[in-house]
Structure 1
Amino acid sequence: MRGNDASRGAAALLGTAALVAGLCGGASAAAAAPAAPPPAPAAAEQPARHVLVTMIDYRLLLPAHLPPGRYTFRAVNRGIAPHALEIKGPGVADERTITVRTGASADLTVTLTRGTYDFWCPVGNHRQVGMQRYVHVG
Protein backbone atom coordinates (compact mmCIF):
# COMPACT_ATOMS: atom_id res chain seq x y z
CA MET A 1 0.00 0.00 0.00
CA ARG A 2 1.06 3.47 -0.55
CA GLY A 3 1.35 6.00 2.32
CA ASN A 4 -2.01 7.72 1.82
CA ASP A 5 -3.84 4.45 1.20
CA ALA A 6 -2.27 2.97 4.33
CA SER A 7 -3.31 5.97 6.43
CA ARG A 8 -6.88 5.82 5.14
CA GLY A 9 -7.05 2.06 5.76
CA ALA A 10 -5.73 2.45 9.32
CA ALA A 11 -8.19 5.27 10.04
CA ALA A 12 -11.08 3.19 8.73
CA LEU A 13 -9.96 0.21 10.81
CA LEU A 14 -9.67 2.36 13.96
CA GLY A 15 -13.11 3.89 13.31
CA THR A 16 -14.70 0.48 12.90
CA ALA A 17 -12.98 -0.79 16.05
CA ALA A 18 -14.23 2.23 18.02
CA LEU A 19 -17.78 1.69 16.74
CA VAL A 20 -17.74 -1.99 17.67
CA ALA A 21 -16.30 -1.21 21.11
CA GLY A 22 -18.98 1.42 21.70
CA LEU A 23 -21.76 -0.95 20.73
CA CYS A 24 -20.39 -3.74 22.91
CA GLY A 25 -19.93 -1.40 25.84
CA GLY A 26 -23.51 -0.17 25.52
CA ALA A 27 -24.81 -3.72 25.34
CA SER A 28 -22.91 -4.79 28.44
CA ALA A 29 -24.05 -1.70 30.33
CA ALA A 30 -27.66 -2.49 29.39
CA ALA A 31 -27.21 -6.10 30.43
CA ALA A 32 -25.67 -5.05 33.75
CA ALA A 33 -28.55 -2.69 34.60
CA PRO A 34 -31.05 -4.30 37.00
CA ALA A 35 -34.39 -5.20 35.44
CA ALA A 36 -37.42 -3.35 36.71
CA PRO A 37 -39.79 -5.56 38.73
CA PRO A 38 -42.89 -6.67 36.85
CA PRO A 39 -45.99 -4.59 37.59
CA ALA A 40 -48.31 -5.94 40.26
CA PRO A 41 -51.37 -7.64 38.77
CA ALA A 42 -54.62 -5.72 38.86
CA ALA A 43 -57.13 -6.80 41.50
CA ALA A 44 -59.15 -8.70 38.91
CA GLU A 45 -56.03 -10.68 37.93
CA GLN A 46 -54.94 -11.56 41.48
CA PRO A 47 -55.77 -15.04 42.72
CA ALA A 48 -58.85 -15.10 44.90
CA ARG A 49 -58.79 -16.13 48.54
CA HIS A 50 -61.34 -18.81 49.35
CA VAL A 51 -63.86 -18.35 52.16
CA LEU A 52 -66.44 -20.92 53.23
CA VAL A 53 -69.95 -19.58 53.87
CA THR A 54 -72.17 -22.12 55.61
CA MET A 55 -75.88 -21.52 55.03
CA ILE A 56 -78.01 -23.10 57.76
CA ASP A 57 -81.71 -22.51 58.37
CA TYR A 58 -81.66 -19.46 59.09
CA ARG A 59 -78.08 -18.30 59.64
CA LEU A 60 -74.99 -17.44 57.60
CA LEU A 61 -71.68 -18.56 59.08
CA LEU A 62 -68.63 -16.68 57.80
CA PRO A 63 -65.92 -14.38 59.23
CA ALA A 64 -67.07 -10.96 60.45
CA HIS A 65 -63.78 -9.29 59.39
CA LEU A 66 -61.69 -9.72 56.24
CA PRO A 67 -58.74 -7.85 54.71
CA PRO A 68 -59.32 -6.13 51.35
CA GLY A 69 -58.81 -8.36 48.32
CA ARG A 70 -60.34 -10.70 45.81
CA TYR A 71 -62.46 -13.51 47.29
CA THR A 72 -64.30 -16.58 46.14
CA PHE A 73 -67.06 -17.34 48.61
CA ARG A 74 -68.16 -20.97 48.54
CA ALA A 75 -71.76 -20.97 49.78
CA VAL A 76 -72.59 -24.46 51.12
CA ASN A 77 -76.20 -25.26 52.00
CA ARG A 78 -76.27 -27.28 55.24
CA GLY A 79 -79.92 -26.47 55.87
CA ILE A 80 -83.20 -28.08 54.86
CA ALA A 81 -84.54 -25.25 52.69
CA PRO A 82 -82.97 -23.97 49.45
CA HIS A 83 -80.67 -20.96 49.97
CA ALA A 84 -78.53 -18.48 48.02
CA LEU A 85 -75.90 -15.90 48.90
CA GLU A 86 -76.12 -12.24 47.93
CA ILE A 87 -73.53 -9.53 48.66
CA LYS A 88 -73.79 -5.75 48.49
CA GLY A 89 -71.25 -3.12 49.54
CA PRO A 90 -68.60 -0.68 48.22
CA GLY A 91 -68.00 -1.62 44.58
CA VAL A 92 -70.24 -4.70 44.79
CA ALA A 93 -73.83 -4.18 43.69
CA ASP A 94 -76.07 -7.13 44.52
CA GLU A 95 -73.87 -10.01 43.36
CA ARG A 96 -75.47 -13.38 44.08
CA THR A 97 -75.18 -17.11 43.64
CA ILE A 98 -77.75 -19.40 42.13
CA THR A 99 -80.27 -20.93 44.53
CA VAL A 100 -78.61 -23.95 46.14
CA ARG A 101 -80.41 -27.09 47.30
CA THR A 102 -79.52 -28.99 50.50
CA GLY A 103 -76.01 -30.44 50.41
CA ALA A 104 -74.94 -28.47 47.32
CA SER A 105 -72.77 -25.36 46.94
CA ALA A 106 -72.16 -22.40 44.66
CA ASP A 107 -69.22 -20.01 44.29
CA LEU A 108 -69.30 -16.23 44.10
CA THR A 109 -66.11 -14.26 43.31
CA VAL A 110 -65.92 -10.55 44.15
CA THR A 111 -63.30 -7.94 45.01
CA LEU A 112 -63.80 -6.33 48.42
CA THR A 113 -62.36 -2.93 49.30
CA ARG A 114 -62.44 -1.15 52.66
CA GLY A 115 -65.94 -0.82 54.03
CA THR A 116 -68.90 -2.81 55.30
CA TYR A 117 -70.59 -5.47 53.18
CA ASP A 118 -74.05 -6.93 53.62
CA PHE A 119 -74.30 -10.71 53.09
CA TRP A 120 -77.74 -12.34 53.07
CA CYS A 121 -79.95 -15.08 51.69
CA PRO A 122 -82.33 -13.59 49.07
CA VAL A 123 -84.65 -16.62 49.04
CA GLY A 124 -88.14 -15.96 50.42
CA ASN A 125 -88.13 -14.20 53.80
CA HIS A 126 -84.84 -15.81 54.91
CA ARG A 127 -83.14 -12.44 55.39
CA GLN A 128 -85.94 -11.18 57.61
CA VAL A 129 -85.73 -14.26 59.86
CA GLY A 130 -82.00 -13.87 60.49
CA MET A 131 -80.08 -15.11 57.47
CA GLN A 132 -78.02 -11.94 57.15
CA ARG A 133 -74.56 -10.84 58.30
CA TYR A 134 -72.40 -7.72 58.00
CA VAL A 135 -68.74 -8.24 57.13
CA HIS A 136 -66.21 -5.46 57.81
CA VAL A 137 -63.32 -5.20 55.34
CA GLY A 138 -60.21 -3.23 56.17
Structure 2
Amino acid sequence: MLIEVGGKRVIGRKSGRTRRVLLSVLLGVLALVATVCTGASAAAAPQAPAGPVGGGSALVIVKMVDYQLLQPAFLPPGRYTFRAINDGRAPHALQINGPGVANARTPVVQSGQATDLTVDLRRGLYDFWCPVGNHRQMGMQLNVFVG
Protein backbone atom coordinates (compact mmCIF):
# COMPACT_ATOMS: atom_id res chain seq x y z
CA MET A 1 0.00 0.00 0.00
CA LEU A 2 1.44 3.39 -1.00
CA ILE A 3 0.37 6.58 0.76
CA GLU A 4 1.40 10.15 -0.01
CA VAL A 5 1.57 12.54 2.91
CA GLY A 6 2.53 16.18 2.18
CA GLY A 7 4.18 15.26 -1.10
CA LYS A 8 6.25 12.49 0.51
CA ARG A 9 5.66 8.89 -0.28
CA VAL A 10 5.15 6.75 2.80
CA ILE A 11 4.71 3.02 2.63
CA GLY A 12 1.96 1.92 5.00
CA ARG A 13 3.05 -1.18 6.86
CA LYS A 14 1.97 -2.60 10.15
CA SER A 15 4.63 -2.65 12.83
CA GLY A 16 6.11 -5.93 13.97
CA ARG A 17 4.35 -5.56 17.30
CA THR A 18 0.93 -5.11 15.63
CA ARG A 19 1.51 -8.24 13.54
CA ARG A 20 2.44 -10.25 16.63
CA VAL A 21 -0.68 -9.09 18.46
CA LEU A 22 -2.93 -9.92 15.49
CA LEU A 23 -1.28 -13.33 15.09
CA SER A 24 -1.70 -14.03 18.82
CA VAL A 25 -5.38 -13.11 18.70
CA LEU A 26 -5.93 -15.28 15.61
CA LEU A 27 -4.17 -18.27 17.21
CA GLY A 28 -6.16 -17.79 20.41
CA VAL A 29 -9.44 -17.80 18.50
CA LEU A 30 -8.42 -20.92 16.55
CA ALA A 31 -7.43 -22.69 19.79
CA LEU A 32 -10.77 -21.77 21.36
CA VAL A 33 -12.72 -23.06 18.36
CA ALA A 34 -10.74 -26.31 18.36
CA THR A 35 -11.35 -26.78 22.10
CA VAL A 36 -15.08 -26.17 21.77
CA CYS A 37 -15.41 -28.53 18.79
CA THR A 38 -13.40 -31.28 20.49
CA GLY A 39 -15.36 -30.93 23.74
CA ALA A 40 -18.71 -30.95 21.92
CA SER A 41 -17.88 -34.07 19.93
CA ALA A 42 -16.55 -35.84 23.03
CA ALA A 43 -19.70 -34.96 24.98
CA ALA A 44 -21.98 -36.08 22.15
CA ALA A 45 -20.11 -39.29 21.42
CA PRO A 46 -21.89 -42.36 22.75
CA GLN A 47 -20.01 -44.55 25.17
CA ALA A 48 -18.18 -47.55 23.81
CA PRO A 49 -18.92 -50.92 25.37
CA ALA A 50 -17.50 -51.20 28.86
CA GLY A 51 -15.75 -54.25 30.28
CA PRO A 52 -17.33 -57.64 30.73
CA VAL A 53 -20.37 -58.13 32.92
CA GLY A 54 -21.28 -61.44 34.55
CA GLY A 55 -21.48 -64.26 32.00
CA GLY A 56 -18.82 -62.73 29.71
CA SER A 57 -21.03 -60.07 28.14
CA ALA A 58 -19.91 -56.49 27.52
CA LEU A 59 -21.93 -53.72 29.15
CA VAL A 60 -23.39 -51.01 26.90
CA ILE A 61 -25.17 -48.04 28.46
CA VAL A 62 -28.34 -47.00 26.63
CA LYS A 63 -29.72 -43.66 27.79
CA MET A 64 -33.42 -43.37 27.02
CA VAL A 65 -34.23 -39.68 26.85
CA ASP A 66 -37.50 -38.14 25.65
CA TYR A 67 -37.40 -39.07 22.66
CA GLN A 68 -33.96 -40.44 21.80
CA LEU A 69 -31.82 -43.51 22.34
CA LEU A 70 -28.24 -42.51 23.17
CA GLN A 71 -25.89 -45.43 22.58
CA PRO A 72 -23.21 -46.60 20.12
CA ALA A 73 -24.43 -47.14 16.55
CA PHE A 74 -21.56 -49.53 15.70
CA LEU A 75 -20.57 -52.61 17.69
CA PRO A 76 -18.43 -55.67 17.06
CA PRO A 77 -20.20 -59.05 17.18
CA GLY A 78 -20.55 -60.53 20.64
CA ARG A 79 -22.66 -60.94 23.75
CA TYR A 80 -23.91 -57.66 25.22
CA THR A 81 -25.80 -56.54 28.26
CA PHE A 82 -27.62 -53.32 27.41
CA ARG A 83 -28.27 -51.28 30.55
CA ALA A 84 -31.32 -49.20 29.60
CA ILE A 85 -31.39 -46.09 31.82
CA ASN A 86 -34.46 -43.87 31.68
CA ASP A 87 -33.06 -40.32 31.77
CA GLY A 88 -36.34 -38.90 30.48
CA ARG A 89 -39.63 -37.99 32.13
CA ALA A 90 -41.92 -40.48 30.39
CA PRO A 91 -41.79 -44.26 30.91
CA HIS A 92 -39.63 -46.05 28.31
CA ALA A 93 -38.50 -49.52 27.28
CA LEU A 94 -35.91 -50.95 24.89
CA GLN A 95 -36.69 -53.42 22.13
CA ILE A 96 -34.15 -55.01 19.74
CA ASN A 97 -34.75 -56.88 16.49
CA GLY A 98 -32.15 -58.18 14.03
CA PRO A 99 -30.19 -61.25 12.90
CA GLY A 100 -30.74 -63.93 15.53
CA VAL A 101 -32.63 -61.56 17.85
CA ALA A 102 -36.42 -61.60 17.54
CA ASN A 103 -37.91 -58.65 19.40
CA ALA A 104 -35.94 -58.93 22.65
CA ARG A 105 -37.47 -56.41 25.04
CA THR A 106 -37.03 -54.88 28.48
CA PRO A 107 -39.92 -54.17 30.81
CA VAL A 108 -41.17 -50.58 30.91
CA VAL A 109 -38.81 -48.42 32.99
CA GLN A 110 -39.97 -45.37 34.92
CA SER A 111 -38.01 -42.10 35.01
CA GLY A 112 -34.71 -42.42 36.88
CA GLN A 113 -34.72 -46.23 36.82
CA ALA A 114 -32.80 -48.83 34.80
CA THR A 115 -33.03 -52.40 33.59
CA ASP A 116 -30.71 -54.83 31.74
CA LEU A 117 -31.21 -56.81 28.54
CA THR A 118 -28.60 -59.39 27.44
CA VAL A 119 -28.44 -60.54 23.80
CA ASP A 120 -25.96 -62.10 21.38
CA LEU A 121 -25.34 -59.89 18.35
CA ARG A 122 -23.86 -61.25 15.15
CA ARG A 123 -22.93 -59.37 11.99
CA GLY A 124 -25.79 -57.37 10.52
CA LEU A 125 -28.14 -54.47 11.05
CA TYR A 126 -30.21 -54.26 14.24
CA ASP A 127 -33.22 -52.11 15.00
CA PHE A 128 -33.30 -50.60 18.51
CA TRP A 129 -36.42 -48.68 19.58
CA CYS A 130 -38.76 -47.72 22.39
CA PRO A 131 -42.01 -49.72 22.05
CA VAL A 132 -43.97 -47.51 24.47
CA GLY A 133 -46.82 -45.59 22.82
CA ASN A 134 -45.72 -43.64 19.75
CA HIS A 135 -42.17 -43.06 21.04
CA ARG A 136 -40.64 -44.82 18.03
CA GLN A 137 -42.47 -42.49 15.64
CA MET A 138 -41.25 -39.54 17.72
CA GLY A 139 -37.62 -40.49 17.09
CA MET A 140 -36.77 -43.11 19.73
CA GLN A 141 -35.30 -45.49 17.19
CA LEU A 142 -31.73 -46.29 16.17
CA ASN A 143 -30.21 -48.64 13.61
CA VAL A 144 -27.11 -50.34 15.05
CA PHE A 145 -24.57 -51.94 12.72
CA VAL A 146 -22.74 -54.97 14.07
CA GLY A 147 -19.69 -56.04 12.11
Q: How many residues align?
A: 94
5 Å-filtered alignment, 1:2-81, equals 47-81=56-90
- SS at structure 2 position matched to 1:130: coil
Which 5+ residue runs of structure 2 have no aligned equivalent? 1-53
Take 1:101 and 1:54, find their aligned partners in 2: how far apart are those partners?
A: 13
Question: What residue identity is the alignment partner of 2:127?
Answer: D
The structure whose Rg is larger is 1
Runs of 4+ in 1 over 3 A off after TM superposition: none
Which one has more relative contact order, counting CA pairs under 8 Å at least 6 apart? 1
- SS at structure 2 position matched to 1:83: coil
Q: Could you give the per-residue CA deviations for residues 60-80 of structure 1, whole angstroms, max 9, x where no partner exists?
A: 000010000000000000000
TM-superposed deviation, 1:46 = 5.7
TM-score under structure 2 length normalisation: 0.63
Relative to total residues, which structure has the larger strand share, 1 or 2? 2
State the match for 1:41 in structure 2.
Answer: none
Residues 1:96 and 2:109 are matched in the alignment: no
Question: What residue identity is the alignment partner of 2:129?
Answer: W
Take 1:76 and 1:137, find their aligned partners in 2: how far apart are those partners?
A: 22
Q: Could you give the per-residue CA deviations for residues 57-114 of structure 1, whole angstroms, max 9, x where no partner exists?
A: 0000000100000000000000000000000000000000000000000100000000
Change (3 A) 1:101 1:46: closer
Residues 1:121 and 2:138 are matched in the alignment: no
Question: What residue identity is the alignment partner of 1:62?
Answer: Q
TM-score under structure 1 length normalisation: 0.67
- SS at structure 2 position matched to 1:87: strand
The RMSD of aligned alpha carbons is 1.2
Take 1:76 and 1:115, find their aligned partners in 2: how far apart are those partners?
A: 25
Take 1:58 and 1:83, find their aligned partners in 2: how far apart are those partners?
A: 9
